Structure 1
């Protein structure tokens, strides 16, 4: 229980960090950082910062599989994951606090220097967060080969990440207002120091969770995990490209993740500039946190009864119903909250179904290639989440400016055209992409719980005989591959 709880607390801080960076930093930029009387200058600076973030994140994301290769090739007395989890979390947290500031007033006194320093800080932050993120989730197949124990670890991790991500929604407004007041702001006023104080809290949660995970979890040792060799960096992308099931899962998941993150990132804009009641945004966190905990708790039972494919596709159907209700609600707060609850309820289930399917791709890829790559394979899921986050940052920046949802604008300032643009990106496009994601998973993803069980059995049998003169230690026979064909 201590191991599961520690893994959950690591995920708690981890997702509180991710939620803050991916969904709320742009709100800080558009509502607090660039708010001079020169609206044209504000728009220009918002555009440059948004572009820097997208370019850096997309550029760095392309190296995520290489980061996975570095982690896979790491050998220390603490294991290959823990050093990266801890160091990555500490450095990324320091970077988070730094970007939630005006760099000592440089935003106005020397904008060019601010942009240079921001770009460097964001790049360092993003790289080290990637090391921590990839190491944390790619440790999952190393913790156990047993499907039930893996599911328990994954459920514990998702339980913690749900509380972390949704807890941020609950505390963000009160925390910013409290920190703003502590640093000289007026009652009810949000300030730059208030946002920075909130970032300090998130950074401490992220680092503390990483410490607990490193102290109380351990890698398992077995014959299948011994079948691990150093992967040359030049071969990292070949490992991913040769795993057809991993690629189909990835394509479906990126469409799902982008849809969800865009909608979630625009949520505070909805309450601030459509409803005109940003304080009610706290209820989103309360509702989604409660629903998220329930969803995660029932996942193991649902997986045994319905299996992952039904959970994934059925969850998307429920989400589409939530989108429809939310869209029809307009500015009616009660119906909007009901739609948000329905939209979010399947999200943790879909995430877990995807995570378990990608985790099983480690053994599937090992059966195909004869080499085990844990971090390279599991790096795909964080890569996709960050790619969705980067695309979301770009969309949010563009939509906020185009719809007039910046600075001190009020709901009455938003034009009909602005509302249409906002709804298009928050509702219509995500709904269309979710349909495509469901169809891809339904038709193309073949790896299942029963298929994985057969793969593990074949790996155990094959590797137990690897010293036999009739077989080689580094490859699998054609018979093995055909019998496990999905």
Structure 2
């Protein structure tokens, strides 16, 4: 009976992660493609480039400003007291509002994008602020549940692994289905033929992703149960002015945050520009679906290996070794050119370690809840776990800016064809997609190697000490 309950919880949490990361991939990666390829495609190239730059800037500024409020959102969640707990109400409300917001931004606001561009920018900013705010509540609520589901590292690893399994399928599944879904709805709503994509097709895609995100959140709400124990009950309401103190005093959390941000920023830049590589260098958008299948399969294998690898070599070796393999993928990419087979091998080397590095970072951040509890004397789950989504969103915000400017500088906007890309544009594209991310990733590895001391054994000692104190 207990095993069946555990399986239900694992499955529910995994489906929630599936919908959550499908939403995140759509917002952080593919919305920019909609902006650059569908929304601003007038005959005035100057107007198109200007509006793409404006929208990109608005998104980056809003995300950076709102990201500063994520720890406060974590404080709100930690301080919430309802009969359904503190996580699930925010997970439900956040999923509903953010899904509606996603659908709205995948429109031209009734033609305002081109007919009244400045009014469009104002309305877009308002919708994006609401969307991003409620997505933050959903994001932080979902991942903050991890330390609340169990205080045991082994069981946390299972929840973290199965959640990453779901999120990998969600994120990579978008790569597989995005072109077929957009083309399908383009045919249904716009009467197009072949592989033609339209604004209506992209809107249909956004509706599908919004629905999947909501259903995933609902599955997590109904299928998981928060654990009650003495360690978790050692929680007090945190004052908003003390939220940043809680984070700042946790030195392991701070150093890991810096390392993980540089890693995530590098990954998102390259991953976001990958579809441009297929469109404008390989000249084969249809082949991009192969990437989705490849990375989904590799993601399943990678995530499945995590518990075994943790037992054999521990998180530190996984984090650092994963970055080394990704750097090898970058190097192969530099020599791949237009050879599809070599490109796919490079994609495999680049992507395979990513879920492993993510899980190593996630589990270390999760264990830093008890590390901070031991140092401060009180437990702050959502405030601490808010840091990881904050870092991913910050990386996504900066990456969106990089992608927008990379597309403009390389000439990869509107109806441009591979033959239109100049040697200068190609060099700039390679700089954005490869050279800058490689440098950042090396720095991320050096910081982790020098500063992170919170191992699995160290966390076990901390839990024992907390249990002794609380008795």
Partner in structure 2 of residue 395 of structure 1: 402
1:278 aligns with 2:285: yes
The structure 2 residue matched to 1:39, chosen from 42, 45, 50, is 45
In 1: Cα distance, 2:225 partner to 2:90 partner: 14
In 2: Cα distance, 1:185 partner to 1:412 partner: 29
Deviation sequence 1:38-89 (CA, Å, 0-9, x none): 1111111111111110010000001000000000001111110001111101
Partner in structure 1 of residue 123 of structure 2: 117
Q: Secondary structure at the match of 2:287?
A: helix
In 1: Cα distance, 2:78 partner to 2:191 partner: 48
Q: Shift in Å at residue 376 of structure 1? A: 0.4
Counterparts of 1:389-468 in structure 2 under 5 Å? 389-464=396-471
Partner in structure 2 of residue 384 of structure 1: 391
Partner in structure 1 of residue 4 of structure 2: none
In 1: Cα distance, 2:397 partner to 2:162 partner: 27
Counterparts of 1:355-366 in structure 2 under 5 Å? 355-366=362-373
Partner in structure 2 of residue 85 of structure 1: 91
Counterparts of 1:282-293 in structure 2 under 5 Å? 282-293=289-300
Deviation sequence 1:421-452 (CA, Å, 0-9, x none): 00011011111111111111111000000000
Partner in structure 1 of residue 307 of structure 2: 300
1:130 aligns with 2:133: no
Q: Does the 8 Å contact 1:249/1:354 carry over to 2? A: yes
In 2: Cα distance, 1:84 partner to 1:4 partner: 20
Q: Structure 2-normalised TM-score? A: 0.98
Q: Shift in Å at residue 104 of structure 1? A: 1.0
Q: Structure 2: give runs of 5+ residues left out of the alignment.
A: 1-6
Q: Shift in Å at residue 109 of structure 1? A: 2.0
Q: Does the 8 Å contact 1:167/1:289 carry over to 2? A: yes
The structure 2 residue matched to 1:335, chosen from 337, 342, 355, is 342
In 1: Cα distance, 2:175 partner to 2:458 partner: 39
In 1: Cα distance, 2:262 partner to 2:114 partner: 38
Partner in structure 2 of residue 102 of structure 1: 108
In 2: Cα distance, 1:356 partner to 1:280 partner: 35
Q: Shift in Å at residue 150 of structure 1? A: 0.5
Q: Shift in Å at residue 185 of structure 1? A: 3.6
Partner in structure 2 of residue 348 of structure 1: 355
1:69 aligns with 2:72: no
In 1: Cα distance, 2:248 partner to 2:428 partner: 37
Partner in structure 2 of residue 482 of structure 1: none
Q: Does the 8 Å contact 1:326/1:337 carry over to 2? A: no
**Aligned residue pairs, count:** 464
Q: Secondary structure at the match of 2:218?
A: helix
Partner in structure 2 of residue 480 of structure 1: none
Partner in structure 2 of residue 150 of structure 1: 156
Q: Secondary structure at the match of 1:351?
A: helix
In 2: Cα distance, 1:431 partner to 1:197 partner: 36
Deviation sequence 1:312-350 (CA, Å, 0-9, x none): 000000001111112210111110011001110000000
Partner in structure 2 of residue 472 of structure 1: none
Partner in structure 2 of residue 140 of structure 1: 146
Deviates more, 1:352-361 or 1:112-121: 112-121
In 2: Cα distance, 1:89 partner to 1:4 partner: 20
Deviating 4+ runs (over 4 angstroms): none
Counterparts of 1:365-376 in structure 2 under 5 Å? 365-376=372-383
Q: Structure 1: give runs of 5+ residues left out of the alignment.
A: 465-486
The structure 2 residue matched to 1:321, chosen from 316, 328, 331, is 328
In 1: Cα distance, 2:405 partner to 2:437 partner: 16
Partner in structure 1 of residue 189 of structure 2: 183
In 1: Cα distance, 2:458 partner to 2:45 partner: 58
Partner in structure 2 of residue 467 of structure 1: none
Q: Shift in Å at residue 287 of structure 1? A: 0.3
Root-mean-square deviation (CA, aligned residues, Å) is 0.6
Q: Does the 8 Å contact 1:185/1:191 carry over to 2? A: no
In 2: Cα distance, 1:20 partner to 1:353 partner: 24
Partner in structure 2 of residue 232 of structure 1: 239
Partner in structure 1 of residue 228 of structure 2: 221
In 2: Cα distance, 1:323 partner to 1:179 partner: 35
In 1: Cα distance, 2:24 partner to 2:132 partner: 10
In 1: Cα distance, 2:199 partner to 2:91 partner: 29
Partner in structure 2 of residue 481 of structure 1: none
